[in-house]
Amino acid sequence: MAKKLVVIGAGMASGRLLEELEPGRFDITLFGAEPRGNYNRILLTPVLAGEREFEEIVTHDDAWYRRRGIATRFGEPVLRIDRRQKRVITARGATPYDKLVIATGSASFFIPVQGNDLPGVVGFRDLDDVEQMRAAARAGGRAVVIGGGLLGLEAAAALHRQGMEVTVLHLMEHLMERQLDPAAGYLLQKEFEGRGIRVVCKAHTTAILGKERAEAVLLEDGALFPADLVVMAAGIRPETRLATEAGIRVERGIWVDDAMRTSAEDIHALGECAEHAGVVYGLVAPLFDMAEVLAKTLRGEEAAFVPPVVSTRLKVSGVDLFSAGDFSEGAGREEIVFRDPARGIYRRLVVEDARISGIVMYGETADSGWFFDKLKSGEDISAIRERLIFGPAFQGSGETDPLASVRALSAEAEICGCNGVCKGEIVEAIRAGAGDLAAVRERTGASASCGSCTGLVERLLAATLGTEAAPPAPAGICPCTDHGHQDIRRLIRARALKSIPAVMQEMGWKTSCGCHICRPALNYYLLCEWPLEYADDAQSRLVNERNHANIQKDGTYSVVPRMWGGITTPAELRAIADAAEKYDVPTVHITGGQRIDLLGVKKEDLPAIWADLNAAGLVSGHAYAKGLRTVKTCVGSEHCRFGTRDSTGLGIRLEKVLWGSWTPHKVKMAVSGCPRNCAEATCKDLGVVCVESGYQVSVAGAAGMEVKQTEPLATVETEEEVIELACAFLQLYRESADYLDRPYKWVAKVGMDWVIERVVTDRESRAALVRRFEISQSVHRRDPWAELARPESRPRSWSPLADLTTEAAE
């Protein structure tokens, strides 16, 4: 007859233990205080955020227990353990055991302040907590989360997503202080604040106020935070009551030895309630290790739990952070730090005795596996110390092999951003027989969405299969290189290349300084990728963008001041007329983009004519730029009897937000006030047609060498949403198009579905695009002539180096 095994607690650790025990070995009874079986507690966050339903996170259902012959007693808390008679007592009686496992987990730590027991104050441990929070979120209002650790931040982000106004109160100086150092904590705080979640650090809660239910949280300094919901996420407390009362040894948790035995015979403990070698674990990986050890112990096999090095990731979509090991400062410890403020990237390695002892990564964690391996293996890193921080991609030396760049990437390096496919998966698929691009796409999904990583996947095929079987590498963008546009963009990002010489060096350019095709493209890619760091290279600009004017066939230039949304004033017209006369402008022309073109201006007059125009408040129209040209409008509801909305006002707003940005090719927009479409919005790169119910935003039209109607992007209700969509669309175009592809060509390559997904459907993606656009615009939203036209800063290069005509005449 099988021995009786009683398990108290139906959490993740006990769930794994039950899986490990072969059916029939024990006669098992499982008690759970919650009225439900084992589920994946880690995924409570997505349930709270509304991204998943509870049913999806159940790990063991009734059928499973039945199959395994496990008797379940859910919703029946164990009241005490009777060690002498070897039985556990519940409200319904006694159950005998031969072996007992305590897996009672932990409970939220409710900070001991007045009001912590009011209705509306919840922990974040189980489904009941989540259901209370979701109910509160449905009613809207304000939530205060006490605790800025892993759990608190996940709860805060989820509640924010559910539409609540959220404040996080954190006792320590920076968020997640157990896992992150101050710098990464700061970036994390910035990210949360950027989403609209308020974060207060060094917040000492003194009371939760309220009569019937929680209404506000009071801090020691007197600050008061109104709250409809208070979430206690200040820590967890191992649930040890049963053990303590049974006289079993309890420290912070229930003491266990290496074999997961407690101080009492035939009684074991595991999970968050257990303490091994002075440590209580809260992350799932070590708990699963414990379950495996205990299963062996119960079978009578030798087994010992080895304290693992644990790593942390935060389960908040859009937040990428990783930490592992010990990263506090100390004697004999050195640190290697890498920061990239523009992209919000921070990396810190703590090195002790030539070995990595701690890792903190924020913003970009693709290489975390590579670093974590080195930490766990204790590898001596002296030989690669100098380049270590840049990750595996940077460990190769000078290369001539075109495949070296992909070889240098780690197995964890993400190749396909759309489908989250890393190099290792692709290589594995190729080794398993995926011999061409189509097969790799089918098996891994890599390059199957937007296709921008196709070049890299092809190189991986070549590198993995050997050169005989290598498919032809994609054609280079010019004779100076074998790399295509998308390869270049990706490698600039992956290898953090920040200057034209760096790109040429690292990607093996075949010429010393490129040519008129690659240099402007590289200049644009670097400018787009590193907006705050990269210094624009005037000598890699084509003439128009270097001189901020359009060169004409006779070497003179045209001058086009911006007319926001096609609106001008008598004063502006007077200033333009005066300038035209003063500088002998031979031709004054009205452009198709609703502004005035002064043609035939001599190069040396450009700074002076712009000084005059600037003085009248006119700024560059960027009529020469691969950037935003015009936003054409009709007069809309302000004047037109058919106009449904203020198309002119919206056009002006759009132009003021978007102007100055550099793009892969020129961008033209229009806003029409009604479907009669007088502004011809449906053949622009982005067009808006106002209708009674809102704004129809469409993109990827053309009216040049090709004529093409726009394709619908989305219909929205407010001007703000139009602007958000326009920013996100423009940024996606900026980040992913080949240089000199107009939006319609780019969309044809990546597919409209992908664009809609990134810009419209996936709100996180949209918000991130808008955020990156704003970072870029903080540099570029300005008039180049404001600087160039100032007499004291006018570069001498506008006028001839020397004039020998007078001398020669003498």
Partner 1 sequence: MSSWIDIAALEDIPPRGARVIRTPQGCVAVFRTGDDRVFALEDRCPHRNGPLSEGIVHGTSVTCPLHNWVISLETGQVGGPGEGTVETYGIRVENGRILLDEARLRRPDAA
Q: For residue 512, state whether it binds partner 1 (rule: CB under 8 A).
A: yes
Report residue 441: phi and psi, to 5°.
-60, -45
Question: Rounded to an integer, what distance in angstroms lies between the CA atom of residue 650 and that of residue 645?
Answer: 9
Spatial contact of 357 and 351, defined as CB atoms under 8 Å apart: yes
Give least dist CB 488 to partner 1, A.
17
Q: For residue 543, state whether it binds partner 1 (rule: CB under 8 A).
A: yes
Range 377-396, binding partner 1 (CB under 8 A): none
Give least dist CB 787 to partner 1, A.
17
- Candidate ranges 124-132, 392-400, 452-460, 547-555; the one touching partner 1 (CB under 8 A): 547-555
Other C-beta atoms within 10 Å of 793: how many? 10
Residues 559-568 as b/e (b if ≥16 CB within 10 A, e otherwise) read bbbbbbbbeb
Give least dist CB 770 to partner 1, A.
34
Q: For residue 336, state whether it binds partner 1 (rule: CB under 8 A).
A: no
- Candidate ranges 189-197, 395-403, 456-464, 539-547; the one touching partner 1 (CB under 8 A): 539-547
DSSP state of 502: H
Give least dist CB 539 to partner 1, A.
4
Range 789-808, binding partner 1 (CB under 8 A): 796-797, 800-805, 808
Q: For residue 810, state whether it binds partner 1 (rule: CB under 8 A).
A: no
Q: For residue 57, state whether it binds partner 1 (rule: CB under 8 A).
A: no
- Number of residues near partner 1 (by CB under 8 A): 29
**Helix residue ranges, H only, 92-140:** 127-138
Spatial contact of 623 and 591, defined as CB atoms under 8 Å apart: yes
Give least dist CB 545 to partner 1, A.
11
SS3 call for 694: strand
Question: Rounded to an integer, what distance in angstroms lies between the CA atom of residue 710 and that of residue 246?
Answer: 74
Spatial contact of 765 and 725, defined as CB atoms under 8 Å apart: no
- Candidate ranges 400-408, 535-543, 572-580, 617-625; the one touching partner 1 (CB under 8 A): 535-543
HEC string of 540-573 equals: HCCHHHHHCCEECCCCCEEECECCHHHCCCHHHH
Strand 198-200's sheet: what is its strand order? 121-122, 229-232, 142-146, 165-169, 198-200
The radius of gyration computed from the CA coordinates of the chain, to the nearest angstrom, equals 32
- Candidate ranges 383-391, 536-544, 645-653, 745-753; the one touching partner 1 (CB under 8 A): 536-544
Among 3, 202, 204, 516, binds partner 1 (CB under 8 A): 516
Q: Which is nearer to partner 1, 36 or 794 (CB)?
A: 794
Q: For residue 91, state whether it binds partner 1 (rule: CB under 8 A).
A: no
Contact flags string 482-511 toward partner 1, x per CB under 8 A: -----------------------------x
Spatial contact of 84 and 42, defined as CB atoms under 8 Å apart: no
Give least dist CB 549 to partner 1, A.
11
Give least dist CB 809 to partner 1, A.
7
Q: For residue 542, state whether it binds partner 1 (rule: CB under 8 A).
A: yes
Q: For residue 514, state whether it binds partner 1 (rule: CB under 8 A).
A: yes
Those residues with Cβ within 8 angstroms of residue 569's Cβ, 6 or more apart along the chain or in another chain: none
Give least dist CB 803 to partner 1, A.
4
Those residues with Cβ within 8 angstroms of residue 731's Cβ, 6 or more apart along the chain or in another chain: 769, 770, 772, 773, 776
Q: For residue 304, state whether it binds partner 1 (rule: CB under 8 A).
A: no
Q: For residue 277, state whether it binds partner 1 (rule: CB under 8 A).
A: no
Range 554-573, binding partner 1 (CB under 8 A): 554-555
- Candidate ranges 215-223, 267-275, 543-551, 588-596; the one touching partner 1 (CB under 8 A): 543-551
- Candidate ranges 482-490, 534-542, 731-739, 765-773; the one touching partner 1 (CB under 8 A): 534-542
Q: From its phi and psi, is residue 335 left (phi > 0), alpha (psi between -120 and 50) or beta?
A: beta
Spatial contact of 388 and 354, defined as CB atoms under 8 Å apart: no
Give residues in contact with partner 1 (CB under 8 A).
511-516, 519-520, 538-540, 542-543, 546-547, 551, 553-555, 796-797, 800-805, 808-809
